């Protein structure tokens, strides 16, 4: 039996999740409306094994709460809950310490897999984010195997890589770098080819492992 906390501001959804989680053979440690309430419960010595954390919430969102939990309660595993498979949200939540990312409309079997995954492996392999990417962020170990490819990159490509780890859109990156959107698109495609990477999430993980971006 896994002790699970639910942090979700939509009460009906949270209650439905609580019923499902119990039916799956787990225990509900506590429920919270937002990140602030969650942290108060943790401070009161309620220590779940896993927290299902919504992202967009009032008072304190999932981004801030997950980062605090990562630093203060590293043994607690956080699974991000979202309505959308937004790439920037995935990147930011992974950087803030979550062990997996699942959609609210997922199948109950996937929820079970996610809970078991973080308990057994420490991370969850889903179609949204591969286990390799989650493992690289949550188990960063100064692996410099990618450094040899850094030599293939020019200064503008490295600057672009740094910006991919922010919340900026590609259009905003173009403005910040004082280039056209088409040029930004060119940097991205060139890096995909040079590094054999196919997504923005992959670029962020490469930048972290190569020491271009520091968590």
With tokens 């984010």, the residue in question is 129
Q: In the chain, what are the domains?
A: 3-138 (3.40.50.2300), 147-209 (1.10.10.10)
**Is it the case that residue 211 has pLDDT exceeding 80?**
no
DSSP 87: H
What is the rounded distance in angstroms from the CA atom of residue 31 to the CA atom of residue 14?
Answer: 8
Give every strand in the sheet of 50-54, ordered side by side: 27-32, 3-7, 50-54, 77-82, 100-103
Under DSSP, is residue 82 helix (H, G, I), strand (E, B) or coil?
A: strand
Distance CA 37, CA 188 (A): 40
User: What confidence tier does 130 reach under pLDDT thresholds 50, 70, 90?
Assistant: low
C-alpha–C-alpha distance, residues 43 and 56, integer Å? 22
pLDDT confidence bin for 37, thresholds 50/70/90: very high
Residue 151: its pLDDT value, please? 61
- 32: its two tokens: 């919270």
Q: Name the E strands within the chain.
A: 3-7, 27-32, 50-54, 77-82, 100-103
Q: Which two tokens stand for residue 170?
A: 């590609």
Instruction: Calculate the average pLDDT of the chain.
Output: 86
pLDDT digits (tens, 9 = 90+) for 41-93: 999 999 999 999 999 999 999 999 999 999 999 999 999 998 876 777 777 78
Quick one: which H or E segment has residue 96? none
178: left (phi over 0), alpha (psi -120 to 50) or beta: left
Chain length of the chain:
215
Is the pLDDT reported for residue 24 higher than 90?
yes
Higher pLDDT: 140 or 25? It is: 25
């Amino acid at each position: 039996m896994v002790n699970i906390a639910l942090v979700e501001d939509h009460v009906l959804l949270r209650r439905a999740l609580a019923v499902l989680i119990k039916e799956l053979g787990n225990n509900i440690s506590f429920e919270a409306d937002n990140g602030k309430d969650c942290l108060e419960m943790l401070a009161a010595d309620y220590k779940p094994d896993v927290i299902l954390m919504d992202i967009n919430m009032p008072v304190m969102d999932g981004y801030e709460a997950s980062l605090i939990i990562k630093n203060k309660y590293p043994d607690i595993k956080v699974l991000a809950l979202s309505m959308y498979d937004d790439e920037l949200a995935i990147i930011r939540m992974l950087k803030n310490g979550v062990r997996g990312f699942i959609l609210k409309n997922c199948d109950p079997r996937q929820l079970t897999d996610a809970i078991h995954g973080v308990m057994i492996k420490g991370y969850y392999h889903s179609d949204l984010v591969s286990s390799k990417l989650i493992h690289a962020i949550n188990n960063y170990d100064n692996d410099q195997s990618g450094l040899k490819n850094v030599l293939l990159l020019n200064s503008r490509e490295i600057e672009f890589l740094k910006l991919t780890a922010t919340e900026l859109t590609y259009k905003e990156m173009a403005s910040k770098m004082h280039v056209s959107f088409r040029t930004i698109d060119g940097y991205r495609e060139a890096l995909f080819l040079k590094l054999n990477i196919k997504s923005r999430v992959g670029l962020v993980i490469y930048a972290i492992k190569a020491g271009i971006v520091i968590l």
